[in-house]
A and B are shown apart, each in its own frame.
Chain A
Amino acid sequence: MTFLLQAARYSAAGTRVRALQARLLTAPDWAAILAAPDLDGIVGILHKSWYGSRLPEHLLIQPDASTLEHALLSRLVVIARRPFALLQGTPRALIEWLWFRYQLNNLKTVLRGMHHQAPPEQIQAALIEPGLSNPHWVDLVQSQSIPVVVDRLAKSWYGSMLRPALDQYRRQQSIFPLELALDLGYYTHLIDLINRLRGADYADATAFLGTWIDSKNLLWAYRYHQYARLSPEEILNFTLQRGLRVNAAVVRDIAMGAPLTAIVHNIWQDRLPGFEELDDLPEQAKLPQLELLLERALFSLAERMRPRAPLRLATILAYMFLLDYEVRDLIAVIEGRSFGWSADQISAYLIGKRAP
């Protein structure tokens, strides 16, 4: 009975997601992209894929990395909205909120641009699909200062997050408190949504999003500790205290100097392929590598779940991650090619196993 209910709830969204999944780049596509000698070649291949409809025509004549990346991100943001249209209730709220992080990035772009006094046109050009959200970020860009932006957002969720941090921003003249407030608010709400799920939905959400949130929390804690040399109290206040596995107790250990490998081993034990490589790396290289390993673990999980759970929340979450990672990998390839790197050099930074 539960299975039937589950199937009924996810049949429409699951079908749509399966159709969307079929459009993700295939292994031969990736092989061709990695083999492409320059940006021209990459644009040519992408133009024939489903990204093609979103690529500006002039890219074919005059390829330019930043325009191409912007176009890919636009495609990502538009497509990532599609799965939640056919969902209902908390699963819909969860997927919608997951998508919402792209809009949060737009707000951060606005805040950063204004803080560094960038001209409105420059900020506007950097926004990704700003018209998909209310308020329209383009309108906000015209505001004269960050306090005015916060004032204009007063009645929205953004305003409720930013308002408490505004005084700190004024005193420190740093954008960090504002971004921190947004991030903590965003992930706290995401955890609340996960906790509102039941049964298989909860298990799926914790498998994907729990790991994702935990990895972010862990990396934040280590960065604050290693790079910013913050006090343990500040680290605890700047991270999520109610993460799923990386909770206040784990963050406290990190803040007090617990070694990275020990903490990672305790949390994920042997579920993190390549974990043993961390031991051989110098201290400063461990965090970026761990980040990559965690993302690869999520990628593998998404790949595994794709055929196994056709009528579950896992299908939709898997697609959201696969799509996001595909675009990020494409951007990595584009940037790598811009630096003149070889396919092997680039592959070392890709999240998915793209090369044949």
Chain B
Amino acid sequence: MFTPERMHEINLFIDEDAIQAVVLTLAGLGTLHIAEESATPRPNQFHWESIGSTYADQERRLRELLDLLGLDHTDELVPTDLNMEQDHTFTSQLLAEVRPILDNWRNEREATQQALEQARFLTEQLRLLKPLDVQVEWLMNLNALRLRVGTIPTNNLERIQTSLFRIPFVIIPSFNHAGRTLVFAATTSTYVPILDRALQSIFFQPITLPDNESGSPAEVLAHAEQQLRTAQSRLAEIQLERQRLSERWGKRLKQAYHHVRACRSLAETIQRLPLQGRIYVIAGWVPVRRFQELIDAVQDVTHGKAVIEVLEPDSRRHTVPTQLHNPNVLRSFEPLVTNFGVPGYDEIDPTLIVGLTFLVMYGVMFGDVGHGLLLTMAGLGLYLSRNTLSNMSPLLGAAGLSSTFFGFCYGTVLGMPLLPALWLRPTEHITVILLATLAAGAVLINIGFALYVYTHWRNRNWQNVLLDRNGIAGLALYWILLGGGIGVWQGLIAPGIWIGLALVPTTLLALHEPIRRWIHERRFQPGSSWGEYTVLAFFEIFETIISFAGNSLSFVRLGAFAVAHEGLSRVVLLIADLSGGLGWLTMLLGTVFVVGFEGLIVGIQTLRLEYYEFFGRFFRGDGRAFKPLQIRANDQV
């Protein structure tokens, strides 16, 4: 729990004939993190490159069809019985079967949409003519004038009027829809060819009356409206047809899509593996507890012919990937650590400590029974909603419970002192709570020192354990400054003794570089000149002392926020009292504000304390996450 999973570094030497089976097995197990140097594209893998590009092409086509059916590409489990050399033929058959059907559907939808547009414009055109007491066929066959009715892109209206400079004309725009305008254009019969060419050049789409249509505009309009309704109902049917097509083909297409996606990724993985003669080399890391399972599976699939080299991971040669292994209850706290950085393989995993300290600090700053329970309910709601933020729900719920606990300590419910305080009321004991949080900060800083010492002691890095500012020398200086300072203040210790004591760790810290060189090279001198080193060491020591003070004082905000929280809640109560009949609304909005806004700020402050004051003391976070070769639902390998 306090250290990442132990790993074995392994090299698998696999015959060309067995590579597909081995990669599939490894992807099925999901236990091997392939080393980066094995993941460089190799130009000699034409066979797998070709297979990969076939699958990439099929993936694109399937995605297009899924988009056409309005289906998403997620949440499908991928079978592990893949045959990358063969499976694309099944997908090709599926595509050959489905594609014409869906293309026909798409074409019909497009044609119907076009017919619907035409019918819509036709009805609009006839509505304008409705008051006229003439026959429509007369309008279309005038003797002296020629009338053209149709639509043009709305942007081209000005253009056509500018371009018709040689002829007498009338253009009447009447109705806009979907970027097009219905226009009536008329000129004398002599100039009709000019008008027609000009209209054509601005993408005019004529609207013609249906064949054999005659009668008054009102009569023709009734018929046109009937056509419009027919087109609308046909379009609705086509949409339903999509539903039927989705039901019929959707599942197979989605399965094929994920199948193809997995095959493509695996083919690309093989393409990147080093190949010597007929032997592929797969280098990577496997968790120790799953090592034997991997070996057995690989030997099983290669009939014992795989050559396997096992090495102890060496962080100096490679960045060994880190896999955290915490109990389920702690998993939701892992992002608090990984957001800062993935622990290095040789570092400790601080998830448990961070989880606990986060909850305590959050509770101290946001202590209130009512607000805490609201946060807990919000966490529960988030959990039940099962959306993308659901994995935050345990953290939110636990923060709520911690706030509730400290609410009992402070005796407040929604800012009201309704309960007896088990500890104290922050606004009434401001000095006490500030000093208490300072003390809590000192404890946390000491935990940071301890974790640093433990990490480097575990890695046998004795010089860091003893001489680093975060090691024993730094810890001694911190305690001499803090404890000695209190002792001088209380008159228990003479200032001279205090300064003398402080000089011991200070000297060690100041001389850490010459001491290191003496240990390694038997030469007691720094890398640069003594003069330069002295100036540098002075400022380093100065900065160390300042940072001790700064880090410790930073924790005062815990108490300050506890006071501010109670104060802010009381302000809400006060305004609610003054709001008369709308007091309940003010209370509601105020509580939402306090829980939502202040709750968020407290969360940010807590993270700040964790990351800057605590993590900085012992945690590098420069590790690389363990990402095994794996077939995952809805994602890459």
Instruction: State A180–B153 Cα separation when bound (angstroms).
Output: 14
A233 touches B164 (CB 8 A): yes
Chain A positions 150-180 with a Cβ under 8 Å from a chain B Cβ: 151, 160, 163-165, 167-168, 177
Bound form: Cα–Cα A165–B156 in Å: 12
Residue A231, interface by CB 8 Å: yes
Partner of A165, one of B163, B179, B198, B203: B203
From residue 234 to 269 of chain B, which have CB atoms closer than 8 A to chain A? none
For residue B201, CB closer than 8 A to chain A, the reply is yes
Q: Among residues 43 to 97 in chain B, which have CB atoms less than 8 Å away from a CB atom of chain A?
A: 57, 60-61, 64
How far does the alpha carbon of A165 sit from the alpha carbon of B110 in the complex, in Å? 15
Q: A139-B60, A232-B165, A248-B162 are in contact. Are A168 and B203 (CB under 8 A)?
A: yes
Shortest distance from the beta carbon of B257 to any chain A beta carbon, whole Å: 15
User: Assuming A147-B110, A248-B162, is B153 touching A233 (CB within 8 A)?
Assistant: no
Whole-angstrom distance from the CB of A145 to the nearest CB of chain B? 9
**Chain B: minimal CB distance from A165 (Å):** 6
Residues 228-248 (chain A) with a chain B CB within 8 angstroms = 231-234, 236-238, 241, 248
Residue of B with least CB distance to A120: B57
B541: interface (CB < 8 Å):
no
Please determine whether A234 and B198 come into contact, CB atoms closer than 8 angstroms: yes
Residue numbers in B under 8 Å from A144 (CB-CB): 103
A11 interfacial contact with B, CB 8 Å: no
Most buried by A among B60, B156, B162: B162
The answer to whether the Cβ of A252 comes within 8 Å of any Cβ in the partner chain is yes
Contact call A167/B197, Cβ cutoff below 8 A = no
Tell whether B460 is near chain A: CB-to-CB under 8 Å. Answer: no
- Which partner residue on chain B sits nearest A188 by CB separation? B155
B53 CB, nearest partner CB in chain A, Å: 11
If A164-B179, A241-B162, A248-B162 touch, does A233 touch B201 (CB 8 Å cutoff)? yes
Contact with A along B98-127 (1 / 0, CB 8 A): 000001001000100000000000000000
Q: Residues of A contacting B197 with CB < 8 Å?
A: 231, 233-234
Question: Do residues A233 and B203 form an inter-chain contact, with CB atoms below 8 A?
Answer: no
What separation, in Å, do the CA atoms of A147 and B60 have in the docked complex? 19
Residues of B within 8 A of A160 (CB): 179
Contacts A164-B153, A233-B197; A252 near B203 (Cβ below 8 A): no
Least CB separation from A167: chain B residue: B205
The interface residues of chain A lying within 8 Å CB-to-CB of B194 are 231, 233
Bound-complex Cα distance A54 to B57 (A): 27
A236:B162 contact, CB within 8 angstroms: yes
Minimum CB–CB distance from B96 to chain A (whole Å) comes to 13
Which chain B residues border A252 with CB–CB below 8 Å? 165
Q: Complex Cα distance A148/B103, Å?
A: 9
Instruction: Confirm or deny: B520 has a beta carbon within 8 angstroms of a beta carbon on chain A.
Output: no
Indicate which residue in B153, B156, B166, B200 contacts A232 across the interface (CB closer than 8 Å). Answer: B166
Q: Using a Cβ cutoff of 8 Å, how many contacts connect chains A and B? A: 60
* Residue contact B160 to A237, C-beta cutoff 8 Å: yes
1/0 contact trace for A237-270 toward B, CB 8 Å?
Answer: 1100100000010001000000000000000000
Q: Is A20 an interface residue (CB 8 A)?
A: no
B160 to chain A: closest residue by CB: A237
Residues of the B chain whose Cβ atoms lie less than 8 Å from the Cβ of A147: 110
Q: Tell me if B421 counts as interface (CB < 8 A to partner A).
A: no
Size band of the interface chain B makes with A? 20 to 34
Q: In the complex the two chains form, is B201's CB within 8 Å of A164's CB?
A: no
Residues of B with C-beta under 8 A to A233: 163-166, 194, 197-198, 201
CB distance from B166 to the nearest CB of A (A): 6
Tell whether B570 is near chain A: CB-to-CB under 8 Å: no
Residues 270-314 of chain A: 1 if any B CB is under 8 Å from the residue's CB, otherwise 0? 000000000000000000000000000000000000000000000
Task: Mark interface residues in B140-171 (1 if CB within 8 Å of A CB, else 0).
Answer: 00000000000001001011101111100000
Question: Taking the complex as formed, is A181 at the interface, i.e. its CB lies under 8 A from any CB of chain B?
Answer: yes
Residues 168-199 (chain B) with a chain A CB within 8 angstroms:
179-180, 194, 197-198
Q: Taking the complex as formed, is A142 at the interface, i.e. its CB lies under 8 A from any CB of chain B?
A: yes
Given the complex of chains A and B, what is the CA–CA distance between A142 and B58 in angstroms?
11
List B contacts of A151 (CB < 8 A).
Answer: 106, 110
Partner of A234, one of B64, B106, B201, B205: B201
* In the complex with contacts A232-B165, A232-B166, A237-B201 CB distance below 8 A: yes
Of A164, A165, A168, A238, the contact of B180 (CB 8 Å cutoff): A164
Closest to B57 in A: A142
Q: How close is B201's CB to chain A, nearest CB, in angstroms?
A: 4
CA distance A168 to B200 in the complex (A): 8
**B163: chain A residues within 8 A (beta carbon):** 232-234, 236-237, 241
Hey, which chain A residues are within 8 Å of B202, CB to CB? 237
Do residues A237 and B198 form an inter-chain contact, with CB atoms below 8 A? yes
| Given A231-B197, A233-B166, A177:B110 Cβ within 8 A | no
Query: In the docked arrangement, what's the CA distance between A255 and B484, Å?
Result: 97
CA distance in complex: A147, B103 (Å): 12
Contacts of B64 in A (CB 8 A): 142
Determine if B159 and A241 form an interchain contact, defined as CB atoms under 8 angstroms apart.
yes
* Residues of chain A within 8 A of B166, CB atoms compared: 232-233
Q: What are the interface flags for A56-81 relative to B under an 8 Å C-beta threshold, 1 for contact and 0 otherwise?
A: 00000000000000000000000000
Which chain B positions have C-beta within 8 A of A142? 57, 60-61, 64
Shortest A161–chain B CB gap in Å is: 10
Partner of A237, one of B57, B106, B110, B159: B159
The distance from the CB of B176 to the nearest CB of chain A, in whole angstroms, is 14
Cα distance, A52 to B194, chains bound together (Å): 55
B201 and A238 contacting across the interface, CB-CB below 8 Å: yes
Give the CA-CA distance A181 to B159 in the complex, in Å: 13
Point out the residues of chain A lying under 8 angstroms from B61, CB to CB.
Answer: 142
Q: List 25 A-B contacts (CB under 8 A).
A: A142-B60, A142-B64, A144-B103, A163-B179, A164-B156, A164-B179, A167-B205, A168-B200, A168-B203, A177-B203, A181-B203, A231-B194, A231-B197, A232-B166, A233-B164, A233-B166, A234-B197, A234-B201, A236-B159, A237-B159, A237-B160, A237-B198, A238-B201, A241-B159, A248-B162
Q: Taking beta carbons and an 8 Å cutoff, which residues of A are in contact with B? A: 139, 142, 144, 147-148, 151, 160, 163-165, 167-168, 177, 181, 231-234, 236-238, 241, 248, 252
Q: B residues near A, CB below 8 A?
A: 57, 60-61, 64, 103, 106, 110, 153, 156, 158-160, 162-166, 179-180, 194, 197-198, 200-203, 205
